[in-house]
Amino acid sequence: MFHQIKEDIDAVMERDPAAKSRLEVLLCYPSVRVMIYYRLAHKLFLKGHTTLARWISQRGRHVTGIEIHPGATIGKGFFVDHGTGVIIGETTIIGDNVTLYQGVTLGGTGKDTGKRHPTIGNNVTIGAGAKVLGPFTVGDGSKIGAGAIVLKEVPPNCTVVGNPGRIVRRQEVAKGVDLDHIHLPDPVKNKIDMLEERIYLLEKALAEKEKEE
């Protein structure tokens, strides 16, 4: 347990420039605190003590604002920045070195049974307010932009934005943990800009034609 807490603190120190000391992280960061609740609840859940496990997980939610079902599986180096409003469903599987921001939901669609929540690969970053819904995989090294609604599989090393989520960038080689979920391509804006330029050219051509007549 102490080794796991150390790894949680290491993840925060590495990825959050606001973290000033390891003691501050231990005492003040909800991500570290909720993982203590989660690990205890997860062990009880695996042993069949599901009600007690849920009670502990709900205590963790009350203290931190982060709701992690005790049935979820979470790898090492997990970090939730700020954390309020994060929800992680029962059959979610999260790999190593994953970063979530506030308001993220890893949930189901309400239509699936069995494995009904997403599998998140290693070194994935999911931006604030993003929703990943369904029993599919977000591949290693991928990045989900803030506010995206992801409803289908994401290959490794991809960037997804929008509602519904669309892949706007693919990389052949992974670059490790990429925390920039703000400066992302905006395909909708690009299309609007192209249409506006096209309309301008058409109106200009029409005006010139009218002058000739």
Looking at the fold, whether 31 and 121 belong to one and the same domain comes out as yes
The pLDDT of residue 88: 96
For residue 191, give its domain range: 186-213
Looking at the fold, whether 143 and 42 belong to one and the same domain comes out as yes
- Mean pLDDT on 84-94: 95
The pLDDT confidence band at residue 176, using thresholds 50, 70 and 90, is: low
Looking at the fold, whether 136 and 195 belong to one and the same domain comes out as no
Looking at the fold, whether 8 and 102 belong to one and the same domain comes out as yes
Looking at the fold, whether 64 and 18 belong to one and the same domain comes out as yes
Q: What residues pair up with 161 in beta bridges, in sequence order?
A: 166
Based on the structure, what is the number of domains in the chain?
2
- The residue to which tokens 């102490």 are assigned: 2
Looking at the fold, whether 162 and 197 belong to one and the same domain comes out as no
What is the amino acid identity at position 63?
V
Looking at the fold, whether 100 and 120 belong to one and the same domain comes out as yes
The pLDDT of residue 102: 93
Looking at the fold, whether 197 and 172 belong to one and the same domain comes out as no
Structure tokens at 51: 């009600």
Query: Would you report the helix, strand and coil content of the chain in percent, each value rounded to 5?
Result: 35, 20, 45
Say what the pTM is. 0.78
Looking at the fold, whether 148 and 117 belong to one and the same domain comes out as yes
Residue 175 C-alpha from the chain's centroid: 17
SS (H, E, C) 83-101: CCCEEECCCCEECCCCEEE
Looking at the fold, whether 132 and 192 belong to one and the same domain comes out as no
The pLDDT of residue 175: 59
pLDDT tens string 113-150: 889 999 999 999 999 999 999 999 999 999 999 999 99
pLDDT tens string 58-77: 999 999 999 999 999 999 99
- Reference 139, options 167, 110, 164; nearest CA is 167
